[in-house]
Structure 1
Amino acid sequence: MDIRHETIAVGKQLVSYTHYYSESSQVCFLLSGASYVYDHPYFYYSRMMLLNHDVNIIEIHYMSDDIYALPDEEADDEILRRIDAVIAKVLQEKTYLTHQFIAKSLGTGPLVTLMQRPVFSEATVILLTPLLTVPFIAEGIAASRQRGLLVIGDTDRFYETSALERCRASHLTVELIPGANHSLDIGFQVDQSLATVAHVTKRIEETLFPVTVIR
């Protein structure tokens, strides 16, 4: 496994990404939140799990200070433009048979857009704490047909009961974590929060790498 730190010019902005490279034909794109980045628990342990399965991992560092100065719609467009550019470059350099995505919080917005594209119709997707109070995100998830997992806590400020119920129309497995906030922590309860990390990471692994039972 080779760790490659790459950059690509998107307009006047240099966008960096980290590629954990292997000879595998599988690739998983990680889309962080605004402040919940790749050294935080759910990405850290997901990366560890993916490396154990010899998957190419792409961590896209799409956030920069200028994003915060843009109006919401322009910021969303710019974030997607940066993510698109990295994904296009990665897929141009090598052909992958399997595409996977793990997105959290702000990163679930661009993922919902990517899920509407035919090239990713067979991708497996993990949506952690999606912004269900944003209509296009909830509606996009509900209309999606990818297999995957959606995880959110019932004390998350972006949780909305009716939106989550609409998301159950998708092909995603939906997990509502009682007491979990937007970081998927259970308040200040260390043991419960660690148990939640372990549980969710296991569910991510089971979703990305299902075991076929031969009868």
Structure 2
Amino acid sequence: MAIVLPGRGYTAKAPLLYYASKYYFQKGFDLLQIHYHDILPFANESEFIAAVQETVRNFLNRHPYANFCIVAKSIGTIALARLCKWDEFREAKALWLTPLLHRDDVFQGLKNSRQKGLVAIGNADPAYAGERFQELKANPNLDLLLIPGADHSLELEMDIEGSIDILKTLLAAVKKL
């Protein structure tokens, strides 16, 4: 089972999540893509997290799986940091796309992650925190991919070919996860 937790405005139809989802689907994974508009409205962050957790829990109660990969982008990494604490996801693989490193909960979730994971972020992303990113190197479970010049969409401004190359690099790293 691959669970996809998108960003607030970066849906599962956007390139990073679309191709990650397609890759896992082609590898035989069933997909659970969380669409936040389906669980709205949530008035605050705790309601958002609770809604995501309830959606995942309800799905797992009806459809038991043993093999998981969780793909999260931006705000989705807040929920991922919590889901990684669940026993069901102890052996899951985690793909952290543009994680909100400035947030203590996300940073601690990454720093203490037991899951094999890939962290991909650009140094032109407002969510990038250089010192914290460097600290993540101490976690042997994480592969780190820092993309020079990439923004919060893991794209290079005014460089389509370079942005496509980033997507190719990311997909190659996902295949190794």
TM-score, length-scaled by structure 1: 0.77
Aligned positions of 1:148-159 closer than 5 A: 148-159=117-128
The residue aligned with 2:24 is 50
Give the deviation of 1:158 after TM superposition: 0.8
SS in structure 2 opposite 1:180? coil
Aligned positions of 1:130-149 closer than 5 A: 130-149=99-118
Query: Aligned pair 1:181/2:151, yes or no?
Result: yes
Question: Structure 1: where are the runs of 5+ without partners?
Answer: 1-26, 208-215
Give the deviation of 1:116 after TM superposition: 1.8
- Of Structure 1 and Structure 2, the greater strand share is in 1
Question: Structure 2: where are the runs of 5+ without partners?
Answer: none
SS in structure 2 opposite 1:184? coil
Q: Which moved more, 1:105-114 or 1:90-99?
A: 90-99
Tell me which of 166, 170, 178 is aligned to 2:135: 166
Counterpart code for 1:77: S
Give the deviation of 1:65 after TM superposition: 6.3
| Mapped partners of 1:55, 1:136: distance in 2 | 28
Aligned residues: 175
Counterpart code for 2:64: T
Could you tell me the percent identity over the aligned residues?
27
The residue aligned with 1:104 is 73
Q: Which has the higher relative contact order, 1 or 2, with Cα contacts under 8 A spaced 6 or more apart?
A: 2
The residue aligned with 2:174 is 204
Contact 1:123–1:146 (CA under 8 A) maintained in structure 2: yes
TM-score, length-scaled by structure 2: 0.93
- Of Structure 1 and Structure 2, the greater helix share is in 2
Aligned-CA RMSD value: 1.4
